[in-house]
Amino acid sequence: MGHDLDDAGLPEVTREPAEAVEAYLRGFLDAIDLPESLLDAIRYALLDGGKRLRPVLAWWSSAAAGGPGEASVPAGAALELIHAFSLVHDDLPAMDDDDLRRGRPTLHRHAGEAMAILAGDAMTVLAFRVLSDGCPSPDLSRALIAELAGASCGMIGGQVFDTLGGFSDEKPAADRLETIHRSKTGALIRAACRMGCICGCSAQGRIDDALVASLTRFGEAIGLMFQIIDDLLDVEQTCEQVGKATGKDARAGKLTYPVLFGVAASRERVKELEHEALGSIEDLGPGADPLRELCRYLARRNR
Ligand code: IPE
Ligand code: IPE
Ligand code: MG
Ligand code: MG
Ligand code: MG
């Protein structure tokens, strides 16, 4: 499948949304009254790095709903704040204990553990401030806050199971694994699609429930797929390629797709999920083509 990819291997459709969200976040942080040291730590973890996939998905989900991509920018910024918080805390010594993120030292390595914890705390709160202050209507604000709160709880719950376990003894390993991945990573990706769709619908004055349902199924399939690929990258890629330590999951005793099923079966599962995701939006018109392209890219990404 041919793709128009930039230097970092990202499809061209990611460029405009990623730049818009980066600019929005930069301006938002410049206007916040917090200690400069904390703002510097937040900028370090949040800006100039990352694929920005959640805002990109929100933008094209808004477009698929017939709205402007720009309408999704506050939602995308809020998603990226929660995502960056999740990465900063995921990397802490008490969690995955990682030294490298996005090709540079993790925040706790750069600014110390206390600052990393506090920056994560602040980014969580700021995500909701973006949505309370940055939406064109109170109804939209309320809907997006509910979506993001639910998804953030899902992500945190997934991190609990991933890090500390706690499943009932009867739950088979395959079910545990799917639950972890659908929550720790899938929840925010699903929310990105739903929130974008809600922004696009709202810009036209009505919520199309069938469309939200289609994009929810799309987001669920690509969300699980995203973490399976992340597991595969840990096994198959170099640290230089992905900008974070690789070969760690098995050593750390993580339950992952390649650990439980092997690489070949994990690749098969990715193909099934790609098919499922594309099927869930097959009735949408050409407005959903960027989502189709992103789905194909996400099934093949190597960073
Ligand atoms: C990494 O997410 C953590 C997971 C949820 C798998 P990304 O691969 O989206 O990380 P960045 O934002 O591009 O660094
Ligand atoms: C992370 O999963 C999920 C999060 C909520 C951050 P991983 O622990 O596999 O993510 P990486 O590999 O460190 O980016
Ligand atoms: Mg982790
Ligand atoms: Mg990790
Ligand atoms: Mg990983």
Q: What is the pLDDT along the chain (303 residues), one digit of tens a residue?
A: 445 677 678 999 999 999 999 999 999 999 999 999 999 999 999 999 999 999 999 999 999 999 999 999 999 999 999 999 999 999 999 999 999 999 999 999 999 999 999 999 999 999 999 999 999 999 999 999 999 999 999 999 999 999 999 999 999 999 999 999 999 999 999 999 999 999 999 999 999 999 999 999 999 999 999 999 999 999 999 999 999 999 999 999 999 999 999 999 999 999 999 999 999 999 999 999 999 999 999 999 999
CB 143 within 8 A of CB 198: yes
What pLDDT does residue 3 have? 53
**Cα 180 to ligand 4 centre (Å):** 13
Which residue reads 């929100």 in tokens? 58
What pLDDT does residue 5 have? 72
What pLDDT does residue 7 have? 67
Residue 202 in contact with ligand 2 by CB distance below 6 A = no
Instruction: Mention every residue, 6+ apart, whose C-beta is less than 8 A from residue 48.
Output: 22
CB 118 within 8 A of CB 38: yes
What pLDDT does residue 6 have? 76
Residue 303 in contact with ligand 1 by CB distance below 6 A = no
Residue 255 in contact with ligand 2 by CB distance below 6 A = no
Residue 293 in contact with ligand 2 by CB distance below 6 A = no
Residue 185 in contact with ligand 2 by CB distance below 6 A = yes
- Give 102's DSSP letter: T
- Environment of ion ligand 3 (residues, CB < 5 A): 90, 96
- What are the angstrom distances between the C-alpha of 102 and each of 6, 7, 64, 87, 303? 17, 15, 30, 10, 10
**Cα 217 to ligand 2 centre (Å):** 22
Instruction: Output the six-digit token pair for 117.
Output: 């914890």
What pLDDT does residue 1 have? 45
CB 176 within 8 A of CB 25: no
The pTM assigned to this predicted structure is 0.97
Residue 152 in contact with ligand 2 by CB distance below 6 A = no
**Cα 184 to ligand 4 centre (Å):** 11
DSSP 215-276: HHHHHHHHHHHHHHHHHHHHHHS-HHHHSS--S-TTTTT---HHHHH-HHHHHHHHHHHHHH
Long-range contacts of 168-177 (CB under 8 A, 24+ apart): 173/255, 173/260, 174/260, 174/261, 176/255, 177/255, 177/256, 177/257, 177/260
Q: Which residue's CA is minimally distant from atom 5 of ligand 2?
A: 184
Distance, CA of 150 to CA of 129 (rounded, Å): 16
